[in-house]
Every structure is written in C-alpha cells, then in structure tokens.
Structure 1
Amino acid sequence: MDIADFFDTFFEEADELLADMEQHLLELDVDDPDSEQLNAIFRAAHSIKGGAGTFGFSVLQKTTHIFENLLDHARKGELTLRADLVDTFLEAKDIMHEQLDAYRNEEEPNQEAYERICHTLQQIALEEIGQTLDAPPAPSPVVEKQAPSDAATTAPSSDSERHLNVALLNVSEKDRLLLVEELGQLGDVQSHSGDDKRYDVMLAGEVSADDIEAVMCFIIEPGQIEISVVDAVNDESASLKAEAPAPSADTSNGVAETPAAPVKPANSTPATAKPAKPAAKKAVAESSSIRVSVDKVDQIINLVGELIITQSMLDQTVSDLDDSSVGNSSLQNGMSLLQRNARDLQEAVMSIRMIPMEFVFSRFPRVVRDTASKLNKEIELITEGKSTELDKSLVERITDPLTHLVRNSLDHGIEMPDEREALGKPRVGKLVLSARHQGGNILIEVRDDGAGMDRDRLLAKARENGLNVPDTVSDEEVFQLIFAPGFSTAKEVTDVSGRGVGMDVVKRNIQGMGGRVEIQSKKGEGTNTRIVLPLTLAILDGMSIKVGGETFILPLSTVLESLQPAEGDMYAMAGDDVVLKVRDEYLPVIAIHEVFDVKNAITDPTKSIAVIVQGEGRRYAMLVDELVGQQQVVVKNLEDNYRKVPGVSAATILGDGSVALILDITGLHRLSRAKKEAGKKVNHPHLSYYQEAEPS
C-alpha cells in the first residue's frame, strides 16, 4: 500500500483548511478577538501540520509547527493581537499555500521564503511574549514498511507510558493496514485486532488524541475514529487510573489486582477521555458528501446530452406516426414519460456541477483588504447571495473578470477617506458583491458608493483616443467605452490599474461564457456593474426559428418579444441601414437570410416575423420566416469540432438528426455591418415600403 495514494486527498483538504484560516483571519476583530475563531485558526494549522508530517512534507510541517505555537499563545491570551500581526499571519498562510503547491507539483518549496517567515514569527514571539518558539520536531519520514498482519500482536512498553485505544469504524482492510502503520510512527502499537466493522489498536506513547485525529482524518472521516484512554501498566500512573475502569479486587489476599491493558472486544465501549463525536455512530454509507473527479462528471453530462438527443430523435419519429391506432397511442404516452424522465435526469446530473457563489466571493475579502491597504482607503465589503449556484466551469472562469472589476471599483470608483468626508459621505467606502438568479441566468453585481462615472470625461477621453463618438449617444453606450482596448481615465499609473489593459479582456471573457456586462452609474453616487451569465454552458434553453429551409437557435435569454412589422414602422437610414420603430424606439434590423445568404427565404419584411433580441445591452430586430418553438438543446462547441464561424456561438443536434447553429446576437450585427462596409450592398427588394426619413 503506497501512502502517496492519499496525497490528493491531503492537498484538497489542506487547501480547504487554508481557505478557512484566511477567512477567520480576515474576520478577526483584533480589539476583541473571538476565541472560537482563534481556536479554528489554530486547529487548521494543527491539522495541516499533522498531515504534512505523515506524508513527509518536512518544510510545510516545520512552518506550520512554528505558526501553530504562536497561534497557541494568541488563543491563550498571551499574545496581544494587532492589525500588523494579522497581516503577518496572512503572509504565513500564503507561504504555506505556496509550499503546498510546491509539494503538489513534486517540487521543493522556496527555502528563502521559509526561512524568512520562520524568522519573522520567531521575532514576534521574542518581542511580544519574551521567548522563542519551540523547535519543530523531526519529520516522520515516509518509508516502505512491511504491512502488519491482522493477527493481534504484543510488544513490551514502558510502565510510565500512556495507553490509548484507537477504534477504527467501518474501515476497509487496505486502509487499516496503512493506518496501523502510521499509528506505529506516532507511538508503540501494543496490539491490534478486529474486523471491518470495528478494529481496535492499542497505542502506547505520549501522543495526544488530537494529534492522532489530525493525521488520520486525511485518510478516513472523523466519524470513523474513536479514541479512548485506558489503564496504565502499573500503579504509578494514578491520574490515568482515575480515568480507567475500576480494577477487579481479589479479596482472598487483600490485594487489588490491576489487569494488563486488554484489547477491547468489538462490542465493548471503553471509558472515553472525551465525549465521543456524534458522527462516530454513523456508518460510512451515510456520509453527506463524496469526492468525484470533475472529468467523470463531465463524461456523465456528455452521455446524458447524447441521451437527450436520442430521445428527441425518437420523439420526432413518434410524432410523425399515425396516432389513431391504440399501439401508437401507447407509444406516444411512453415517449412522453421518457421525455419527462430524461429531462429530470438531465437536471439532476447538471446540478452535480453546480456550486455556490461563496467559492468565488470567499476570495475577495483578502483582495479588498490588500488593495485598500495599497491605496490607503477604508473599504467595507458586503457579499449577498453567496448560496446562489453556478456551473463549476463558469465559477472558475468568472473569478478573474470579477477580480479586475473589484480592483477597478476600489481604485477609480471609491474616493479617498478625506475626500469622501468633505463630500458628506462616510469615510469608509462600501463595495457590494451580489449574486442572484434571474430567469434562466445568474446576475452578478459589483456595486460601489464612489464617485460614479463622468460622461463628459469619458467622451473627451474617447475622442482623444481617436474614437468618433457623437454627443447624442446614450449614457449606457458611453459607459461601455471603458471596455475599449487601451481605454483608461486614470490620472496616473499605479500598482493597481491605469495602464488601459484589462477591461476589454473582462468583456471578452464574459462574452466567451455566453454572458454580457452592463454598467449603470450616477455621478457622485456610485457605479453598478452587472454581469449576466447562463447557469451552465452545457444546456441551453433556446427558441427554434426557421429561415428558408434552415433552422437556427436563438438563446431564449436574449429573446424579448416577437411581432409582425408594419410598413409604417420601417425606416431607411443613411446608407443601407434599416431600423424598425417599436414603441418610440428605433431598433437596427438584422435580416438573417441576408447575413447568411439563405435561399428561398421570405424577403418582404412585412411578411416576416421580427424577433426583438438583446445583446451587449443593445436591442435588435431580427427578421425570421417562422417561430418553431421553445426547446432545451445540448450545446456542442463548434470551434472545437470545426472552426470559429462569425455570428455563430455554438451548434446543437436536433431531433431529426440535423445540425442547427446557435446564433450570436452581437456577432450577427457586426457581421451585417462588416458586409455593408466591405461594399457588399445588401439588396432590399421591398425598400419602397420604407419611409425615406431618418428618425430623430
């Protein structure tokens, strides 16, 4: 049995412990520290130290040992906390994370960083509590050892040693062998016996129950361990005897006989040194979670997607049959049941990939703290909707764009404390991160109560950069200028921002996830940046449309309404542009048959259907021949399987086996304009219907 098999589990759980540690450190009130938070930080360091020692990660073990000792003084009240000390603790946590990553990549951790943080922690201990910290113990090397057999063994031990009974509950034989071996590195294994249900190991030594749990919980669950103090070998251990079962007395000679520490039978309940965990009574099968590779989940999702496509094909075939016969009627009922069950299965499988936004938001208290410190600003971070769920792949990709938006708000949005005070605002600026579901999408907002955006300043900067922007454009379009490449209104370049890079990447990344970004701002009151994303990229609720003999899919989240255009509502603009008047708003018209050169399509706009869609904060009127209906489709990446096609975001397979393209709204508009600018004049056979008057 190779202990390296458990490395991945250790790395994952250590990552979680470090994240918890950072969260508690950021929430810690240095003036009135919460003892529970200090204990939680200490326990995290203690658990990581135990696991690092077990797996032979010596540098990480030594770092956490020194850090743990300093935290122990803090939780006992012997070390008075200050903001600068918490900053040092956060730096120690970062270095521990770097060491963990080094071991994960089978590299040696940075020795200089290790020596620097250990020196800093020792210096704090010397200055604040008047002593240096204990030197870390030598690491327990991971060596190949012969696995012990399940037969009970005995070994002599010192009379003064403490004896613990470690019960392993519902542990497989393979894991038992490894655990007994690891216990042998913590103390002297006196005996071990039992079965899969309960396996008792008698351990002699000075090791504590906490140390045993810290090591073993990286291999099995805490509920699978019961640790009990049992009687010592001789009468000298009076304190332990008080905790042990009462000795049997031989009244014939007046001498109380103390029995040797027995191996507890599987059905016995030893006297415990501390209350048993309630979770210990639960079987492994009742565990509330299980770790599964993301690749396995993706494979299941792909298979379910193929199942949905097959079900759609069968449904199409059955719908073409004559439904008058009893047999066909039963077949259609069965297909309806299959369709319902397939959709339920699809939703259940998709939910496996959904994780709460808390995983994203938990990174930002540290980002806000560090950035505000650099900028000498006082910032309060508020998070809302942390339980809102999003697809794991999107969670991983949204973190960088959100980080840039947060840093932008802190640098450009929120004013300096003195400036805020002069304006009658609180010295402490407020930054809000929120997430909530909106229809089939998730809405993420980054709001601040800062200076807001200056329309005139943005227009001036745009013209300075050579952008031809008329004065009549809406505020929303002006605010979108900050996403232009190289655009920046910063007065000077700082470590945080000001180089004009990043915001264009933010917009491009969000669009790459099938989303859009909108900005609402009021000068002097603040800015609200809204990101709208689909809940998942694997499944799409779409509207099927027909143009000529072709079927296309419009993302349902972009569709606002549909209507029949009237002659009096169509206007010819300068050049070849055409707009449709909808309730006093003039919308650019996109004729799909012209953009994609679809033959046999309806060319008379008044006989087409105008689907009003929205993309990148703008609305368009898209001319189609027919609305087929709403359906859920499995998204297939077109770029991976073919190549990038302008105006198309992805593809899907319909029930009849044909391929339908999923349209990209803003891409279609750009493609339409590009064709006109390239001199490919769009022919409007019914241009006479349009009023040759440019609307105001």
Structure 2
Amino acid sequence: MSIDLSQFVPVFLEESFEGLEVMESGLLNLEEDDAEAINAIFRAAHSIKGGAGTFGFSNITDFTHVVETLMDELRAGRRSCSDSLKSVLLSSVDCIRLLLEAARDGTSCDDPQIKQVHQQLEAELSFDNKDKVAIVDNEFEKIEISSSPVAVKETQGWVIDFAPAPHLLMTGNEPILLISALADLGQLVTYAATDQVPSLDELNPEELFLHWKIDLYSDCSELAVREVFEWVEGDCSLSVLPLQTLADEVSEESVPNDSVSDEIAFDKVAEKSSTALVLNNESVEQPTIRSETASSKNNDDSSAAPAQNTRKIQADQGSIRVGIDKIDGLINRVGELVITQSMLGQVGLEMSDCDHPGVERLNDGLVQLERNTRDLQEEVMRIRMLPISFVFNRFPRMVHDISSKLGKVVELTLSGEQTELDKTVMEKIGDPLLHLIRNALDHGLETPQERIATGKAESGTIHLSASHQGGFIIIQIKDDGRGLDTNKIQEKALSSGLITTDQVLSDSDIHDLIFVPGFSTVAEVNDLSGRGVGMDVVRRNIEALGGYVAVVSEAGEGSTFTVSLPLTLAILDGQLIKTQHEIYIIPLLSIIESIWVSTESLNAVAGRGRLFLFRDEYIPVINLSDVFCLSETTKSFTNSLMVIVEGGGKRAGLIVDELQGQQQVVIKSLETNYKRVEGFSGATILGTGQVALILDVAGVIKMGLDSSTKQYPHAINKDDGYLLAKVDI
C-alpha cells in the first residue's frame, strides 16, 4: 500500500520555518567555541534537508546540503567561525525561507539571490582550511581485541550492520554523518564494504553502493543506537546486536588469539575490500542527529531501554499540531455557548419569583453552568495564547542588518519574551512593532561618532520588553538615543499647517504630532524613512486592535514607545450601560469608577466643553447621547451618572442614563459583518437576543475631544444606527 506523503508536507514546512528561526537566532549570537549553538544550527539544517529530500524538494535539498556541510566542518573544528562565513550563512537562511515559501505556495523560485548565495557557500566550502583532517584510503587503524573469553565478555557495545538503500542520497541523508553521530556514544571501528561498487563507466553518482559494519564500544542502550538512524528508517537495512554475542561466537569457534580481525567483524564480506576508521569523542567532534543530548545517552545502559522508550512516547504526546481553523471553530462554539448561557441566566432571573419547587434547582444549575462555561472559555482561550517571542525573534536579525547598513553599533535586548497573548493579536502587532524599531534605529540612535562626541558609549541600545497589566499586554520599545526634538517637530507642524502660532502645546501634545498622517521631520528621503508614512499606520493598526500607543521622550536621553493591547479579541468582561433607548457595553478594564455629578461640579471652558476635577486632574466630560445623536435636545447635567474611563492614554467622563450590570460578552467584528464604525470596537448579542455595541473607549474620547461644539462630526448617523440593529452577527 502506497502512502500519500503530500499530507505531511504542511507539517514539514511548519517545522522547517521553526528551524530557520533557530538557525537565524543561533547565527546572530554565534561564537567560535559555542558548540551548543553550532550543534543546534547543524541539526536544524539537517532536518530541513532530510525532510526536503523525503518530499522531493530537490532545490531545497541541494541548497541546504552545502549549509549543512559547512556547519558540520564547524562542529568538527575543521573550519573557523569567521564573520564572512556567518554573513553568508545568514543570507542562506533567507534563501531557504524563499525556497520553502515557494514550496508552500506551489510556485517556482528563480530569485537571483539564491544562485548568488549558493555560489558564495560553495566558495566558502572550497576554501582550503589547513585544519581539515585528511583520511587516507586503505590505511587501517583498528582496536585490537583479546580473544580471551573473559576479556571479551567484559567488553560492552554493539555490532551494527548498516546497509543503506541505493536511493538514500536522494533523500538528503548521508551515511558518513550517521556514522559520525555514533561516535558521540562511544568508540567506533567502522568497516565499509566496497565489493558492490561498479566500474567507473557504470557508476551512477547519485546512487549508493556501500554498506557498513560498525563495532561500537559503549555502555549505551540499543534504543540510543537506533535513534541515530531514525531519519533513514525504511531506507536501509539495519541490524543491531550486542557485542557480547559476537564475543560468545568467537569463544565457541576457538579462534586463535591473533585472528580476531576483519573476517570476524565483517562476516568475511569485506575481507580485502574495506576501509576502517577509528572515531572517538577525543579525536573529532561529531555531528549529533538525535533530539536528546549525547551526554544523556552515554549514561544509559541496555536495561534502561524500556524506560527510555516510555519517556520518548511521553515526550511525543506532549504536544500536537492542530490547524488554526479548527481552533477558531472551537472558539466560535464556545462563544455561542457563552451567549446561550447568558440567555438561560436571563430566563432564570425572570423565573426567580416563581414558587415552583424546581426553580431553586434550576437556579443552582444555572450558577454551575455559568462557572463551568467561564472555566471552559478560559481553557479554550489558552489554546490560542502564544508567547510573544514568536514576534520578538524576528527583530534581532532586522536590527543586525539595518544597523550594519546605517553604520551604527546597536545592541538589542529582550525581556518578557514568554509573555503570552492571543494569536490573532500577535499576527497583527508584528508590523507596528517593526515600524517602531526601524524608527528607533534610523531616527533615535546616533552614529558612533555622534555618541562619543556627546559622552555616550559607542554602542546604542534598544530594549524591547513585554509584560501583563490587567487584561492588557504592555510592550515597550526603549532606546538611549537623541530623543525627540520638540522644537523641530513644532516648526515642521507650523510650516505644514497642522497647528497655529496661537496654540499652546505641551511636550506630550508635540510628541503626539509624529502620529499625524504625512508628518515627517526628515529632510532627505531614504529607503528606510522620510516619506511621512509609518507612524500614522502604527497608531491606526494598534487602535484597530483596541489598544493605544504613547510616547515619552527626553532630548539627549532617548525615547520610550509604549503599546497597550488587549490579550484577546474574542471575549471580554463588560459593563452594560443605557443611554436614551440604546444599550452599550464598556469594557470593564477601561472603567476607573462611576459617580453621580451635578451641574455645579462641572466647569465650562471656552472652546473645550465641560471639564470635571477628578483626583487633581481636569478631565473632559462627554455626553454619549450627544456624540451618538440619540436625542434632538441636549441632556441636562443635573444629577447625572458619569462613568470615568481611560483609553488611549487619556481619561474622560462619559455621561450615561443607567448602569445595567456586568456581563461576559462575545465580541463580534463590525468590520467583518457590516463595516468599520468609529467609536465602536465590535458588537455582541445579549441574553435577551438584542444586539449591543461595544464602545472603543479611546475612539469615543477622541470623538468628544475633536469637536469643541455640539456638532460632533464623527457621530454615527441614523442610517448606521438602524442598520446596526438589523445586521445579523
């Protein structure tokens, strides 16, 4: 029965992209004596090459083969880790990524960069390293074994018969690397049989005609030996027998003391046509093909094989790969369950006054259902939560390349990489963070000469951090560069007509101007910046996620950009409010407190509307009824209920008619189901079946502050309100 290998290609591609991240991270921090990093890079390249060969991606196999060979020479100490080698290996990662993307999309990849980098790799490989170890054919070096039965029985090890299939090389695997990996387990005597090699005119260089007998002297388990050959399982004939068995056979046949030689070790197959190599951990550092470390395997023995096998099975069961569409479907079902639970809870409230004896049991069941639903929702949401390192890991390479191009010395430090957030949020935050870091590299940090002239260290620093704060994730990009020049920004804003000479702006207001579309203080446009696009896109994309971005800067000391984002875009805890005849939802995380206010406690300021003194800070007062055009007349502020909220780094008081309780709600996208509406981040379905809009607090505050009159230019029109009530979400 044939197996359709194409079904495994998506898994191979996903694992290969992860392997590229390992390679890139390792190469960026590679040092001459960092054996662990070199091994990790080699293993990643070997896995990609082996998988590509299995699935028939010959272009990936051919390209990655050269990378693997170079890394193998680094592992063995036969090549030095030069800057030029690291540079071309980094370029090779980009090329492999292009090839993998082409394989994923089913297209051909003719990028000239691939051919150029391949030639550079070949040039590096052909460079004559004096440290290379020469292996001379037909010079045998063997371990002499005494034929004494006692001496032989005290020897531990394995006799390995490895006969690869002729097509093995076409799968991207090389026997010499497998044999070398065995050297991590102990000392080897290796014999290669050449009797099946055809004449030169009949030789097919793509086929393999050798097979090997290997004596491994080690106390490792049989499982440890077989794991070395996991990649070629099904493409070879493999026999692993205890060395003790061979010793017993020698004893039974009464072999003379001086005749334990090639004939016994090789079953007389390669009596005069074999090449033997002695490999051990002291002479040559050898490749590691297995996922576990060699040191852990050297501590195993034959009796530990069952335990090792159990541990391996448990490790394999530690995680599974599930399509994101299946997870999205599960989350949608849980969302519908939350809505159903809310509806049942509403029914329970309506029946609370009923005298039926089953009502109490019904209410108890509804309370338990609510608790279990919330627990289920939290567990399901955790499935989509991923560490932000998936985003952070792309930036070291970018900083390395851009700083080199700009002639700057930059150190990027990361913290909080394991902070988790929803995969949907993570996918959309990558580009805004990329813009902010590029901005810090190009505008924020000075050249080494400028830094030295101002008394700073030659190397500038960018610190990228993430942390949880309530239901939000806080991401900060901090640099120790020149900071924002408020005078220069203000002059540019004046000349562009963004502000007028009679406006009095604080430093914070001036810093905020960099997010205005088209604004740029760069005199000369380059391929990194100067076109006035980027920062406005950053703010717009972050606000679309329900977050905000703020900047704090000090001239000569540097700048800190703070991005605040919700952990998830699927479910939130909300406060139901009523204004006129409409019910809205305010995210609980945005609410500071709710208070009653009177007209006397409000201060009217010309051109600024009404302000309220809250904790030594004057905050604007926004009447939701006016903003959303819900009434023809202006509401009186006498004994009004005000909800004090915070969003986008600003505070405001929202005048509402009534608070109706708190509820966990499932967020439905307005943009997907209807269209983008300013002031709202989404909608939900209440327990009554009614559609309620979820306020975008930062957007509502902006709408209120953008107008100093009652003619709110961004208010929802009546048609929008009607359609929103009818749209099926």
Short-chain TM bin: 0.7 to 0.9
- Structure 1 pair 476–39 and aligned structure 2 pair: CA distance change class (3 A): same
Q: Using the TM superposition, give the Cα deviation of residue 210 of structure 1 relative to its aligned residue in structure 2, in angstroms.
A: 7.7
- Structure 1 pair 113–525 and aligned structure 2 pair: CA distance change class (3 A): closer
- Structure 1 pair 124–273 and aligned structure 2 pair: CA distance change class (3 A): farther
- Structure 1 pair 674–567 and aligned structure 2 pair: CA distance change class (3 A): closer
- The farther-off stretch of 108-117 and 667-676 is 667-676
1:607 is aligned to 639
Match of 2:161 among 160, 163, 167: 163
Q: Using the TM superposition, give the Cα deviation of residue 593 of structure 1 relative to its aligned residue in structure 2, in angstroms.
A: 1.4
Separation of aligned partners in 1, 2:708 and 2:91: 57
Q: Confirm or deny: 8 A CA contact 1:602 1:625 kept in the other structure.
A: no
The one-letter amino acid of 1:551's match is: I
Secondary structure in structure 1 of the residue aligned to 2:466:
strand
Q: Using the TM superposition, give the Cα deviation of residue 572 of structure 1 relative to its aligned residue in structure 2, in angstroms.
A: 2.9
Secondary structure in structure 1 of the residue aligned to 2:464:
strand
Q: Using the TM superposition, give the Cα deviation of residue 204 of structure 1 relative to its aligned residue in structure 2, in angstroms.
A: 10
1:337 is aligned to 368
1:23 is aligned to 25
Higher relative contact order (CA 8 A, sep 6+): 2
- The farther-off stretch of 89-98 and 489-498 is 489-498
Q: 1:335-367 CA distances to partner (integer Å, 9 max, x unpaired)? A: 111100000000000000000011111111101
1:475 is aligned to 507
Q: Confirm or deny: 8 A CA contact 1:417 1:428 kept in the other structure.
A: yes
Q: Confirm or deny: 8 A CA contact 2:392 2:417 kept in the other structure.
A: yes
The one-letter amino acid of 2:124's match is: I
After TM superposition, the structure 1 = structure 2 runs for residues 282-321 of structure 1, keeping only pairs within 5 Å, are: 282=311, 284=313, 287-321=317-351
* TM-score where L is the length of structure 1: 0.78
Q: 1:439-495 CA distances to partner (integer Å, 9 max, x unpaired)? A: 111000100111111222211111111112555323222211111111112232222
The one-letter amino acid of 1:316's match is: Q
Q: 1:305-352 CA distances to partner (integer Å, 9 max, x unpaired)? A: 000100011011111213565421221111111100000000000000
1:376 is aligned to 407
Separation of aligned partners in 2, 1:474 and 1:620: 19
Secondary structure in structure 2 of the residue aligned to 1:329:
helix
- Structure 1 pair 663–252 and aligned structure 2 pair: CA distance change class (3 A): closer
Separation of aligned partners in 2, 1:187 and 1:619: 65
Separation of aligned partners in 1, 2:229 and 2:536: 52
Separation of aligned partners in 1, 2:645 and 2:409: 42
Match of 2:623 among 591, 602, 607: 591
Q: Percent identity?
A: 42
- Structure 1 pair 376–327 and aligned structure 2 pair: CA distance change class (3 A): same
Q: Using the TM superposition, give the Cα deviation of residue 213 of structure 1 relative to its aligned residue in structure 2, in angstroms.
A: 2.9
Separation of aligned partners in 2, 1:600 and 1:464: 40
Separation of aligned partners in 2, 1:512 and 1:106: 33
Q: 1:100-135 CA distances to partner (integer Å, 9 max, x unpaired)? A: 11111112232643432222112223335279999x
1:364 is aligned to 395
- Structure 1 pair 680–479 and aligned structure 2 pair: CA distance change class (3 A): closer
- Structure 1 pair 227–90 and aligned structure 2 pair: CA distance change class (3 A): farther
Q: Using the TM superposition, give the Cα deviation of residue 81 of structure 1 relative to its aligned residue in structure 2, in angstroms.
A: 1.8
2:585 is aligned to 553
Q: Confirm or deny: 8 A CA contact 1:543 1:628 kept in the other structure.
A: yes
1:73 is aligned to 73
1:328 is aligned to 359
Are residue 437 (structure 1) and residue 448 (structure 2) matched?
A: no
Q: Give the superposed CA RMSD.
A: 3.8
Equivalenced residues, count: 603
Unmatched runs of 5 consecutive residues or more in structure 2? 135-158, 176-207, 215-225, 268-299, 715-729
1:464 is aligned to 495
The one-letter amino acid of 1:8's match is: P
1:634 is aligned to 666
Are residue 542 (structure 1) and residue 552 (structure 2) matched?
A: no
Q: Using the TM superposition, give the Cα deviation of residue 374 of structure 1 relative to its aligned residue in structure 2, in angstroms.
A: 0.9
Separation of aligned partners in 2, 1:253 and 1:510: 82
The one-letter amino acid of 2:692's match is: A
Q: Confirm or deny: 8 A CA contact 1:651 1:661 kept in the other structure.
A: yes
- Structure 1 pair 553–215 and aligned structure 2 pair: CA distance change class (3 A): farther
Secondary structure in structure 2 of the residue aligned to 1:431:
strand
Q: Using the TM superposition, give the Cα deviation of residue 399 of structure 1 relative to its aligned residue in structure 2, in angstroms.
A: 0.6
- Structure 1 pair 319–183 and aligned structure 2 pair: CA distance change class (3 A): farther
- Structure 1 pair 243–435 and aligned structure 2 pair: CA distance change class (3 A): farther
Q: 1:391-419 CA distances to partner (integer Å, 9 max, x unpaired)? A: 00111111110011001011111111121
Separation of aligned partners in 1, 2:611 and 2:167: 78
- Structure 1 pair 676–510 and aligned structure 2 pair: CA distance change class (3 A): same
Q: Confirm or deny: 8 A CA contact 1:79 1:128 kept in the other structure.
A: no
- Structure 1 pair 215–376 and aligned structure 2 pair: CA distance change class (3 A): farther
Secondary structure in structure 1 of the residue aligned to 2:120:
helix
- Structure 1 pair 467–253 and aligned structure 2 pair: CA distance change class (3 A): closer
Are residue 54 (structure 1) and residue 54 (structure 2) matched?
A: yes
* TM-score where L is the length of structure 2: 0.75
- The farther-off stretch of 41-50 and 376-385 is 41-50
- Structure 1 pair 549–76 and aligned structure 2 pair: CA distance change class (3 A): same
Match of 1:230 among 240, 249, 253: 240
1:514 is aligned to 546
The one-letter amino acid of 1:367's match is: M
Separation of aligned partners in 2, 1:671 and 1:544: 21
2:609 is aligned to 577
Q: Using the TM superposition, give the Cα deviation of residue 681 of structure 1 relative to its aligned residue in structure 2, in angstroms.
A: 11
Q: Confirm or deny: 8 A CA contact 1:549 1:600 kept in the other structure.
A: no
1:413 is aligned to 444
After TM superposition, the structure 1 = structure 2 runs for residues 251-290 of structure 1, keeping only pairs within 5 Å, are: 280-282=309-311, 284=313, 287-290=317-320
1:346 is aligned to 377
Q: Confirm or deny: 8 A CA contact 2:78 2:133 kept in the other structure.
A: no
Q: Confirm or deny: 8 A CA contact 1:187 1:205 kept in the other structure.
A: no
- Structure 1 pair 484–163 and aligned structure 2 pair: CA distance change class (3 A): same
The one-letter amino acid of 2:680's match is: V
Separation of aligned partners in 1, 2:78 and 2:457: 36
- Structure 1 pair 12–206 and aligned structure 2 pair: CA distance change class (3 A): farther
Match of 1:213 among 218, 221, 230: 230
Q: Confirm or deny: 8 A CA contact 2:411 2:461 kept in the other structure.
A: yes
Q: Confirm or deny: 8 A CA contact 1:10 1:51 kept in the other structure.
A: yes
Match of 1:392 among 423, 446, 450: 423
Q: Confirm or deny: 8 A CA contact 2:343 2:688 kept in the other structure.
A: yes
Secondary structure in structure 2 of the residue aligned to 1:94:
helix
The one-letter amino acid of 2:371's match is: R
- The farther-off stretch of 281-290 and 123-132 is 123-132
Are residue 650 (structure 1) and residue 648 (structure 2) matched?
A: no
Q: Confirm or deny: 8 A CA contact 2:168 2:174 kept in the other structure.
A: no
Q: Using the TM superposition, give the Cα deviation of residue 621 of structure 1 relative to its aligned residue in structure 2, in angstroms.
A: 1.5
- Structure 1 pair 260–254 and aligned structure 2 pair: CA distance change class (3 A): closer
The one-letter amino acid of 1:635's match is: I
Secondary structure in structure 2 of the residue aligned to 1:488:
coil
The one-letter amino acid of 1:309's match is: I
- Structure 1 pair 518–418 and aligned structure 2 pair: CA distance change class (3 A): same
1:237 is aligned to none
Q: Confirm or deny: 8 A CA contact 2:475 2:562 kept in the other structure.
A: yes
Are residue 105 (structure 1) and residue 138 (structure 2) matched?
A: no
- Structure 1 pair 273–38 and aligned structure 2 pair: CA distance change class (3 A): farther
The one-letter amino acid of 1:52's match is: A
The one-letter amino acid of 1:652's match is: T
Separation of aligned partners in 1, 2:118 and 2:468: 46
Separation of aligned partners in 1, 2:564 and 2:369: 33
The one-letter amino acid of 1:69's match is: T
Q: Using the TM superposition, give the Cα deviation of residue 80 of structure 1 relative to its aligned residue in structure 2, in angstroms.
A: 1.9
Q: Using the TM superposition, give the Cα deviation of residue 671 of structure 1 relative to its aligned residue in structure 2, in angstroms.
A: 4.5
Q: 1:69-106 CA distances to partner (integer Å, 9 max, x unpaired)? A: 11222222222222232111100111111111111111
The one-letter amino acid of 1:402's match is: L
Separation of aligned partners in 2, 1:369 and 1:120: 20
- Structure 1 pair 230–165 and aligned structure 2 pair: CA distance change class (3 A): farther
2:144 is aligned to none
- The farther-off stretch of 64-73 and 584-593 is 584-593
Q: 1:557-611 CA distances to partner (integer Å, 9 max, x unpaired)? A: 2222222223333233335833333344332221111222335999321321111
- Structure 1 pair 278–253 and aligned structure 2 pair: CA distance change class (3 A): closer
Unmatched runs of 5 consecutive residues or more in structure 1? 135-160, 167-178, 189-202, 220-224, 232-240, 262-270, 683-696
Separation of aligned partners in 2, 1:576 and 1:184: 75
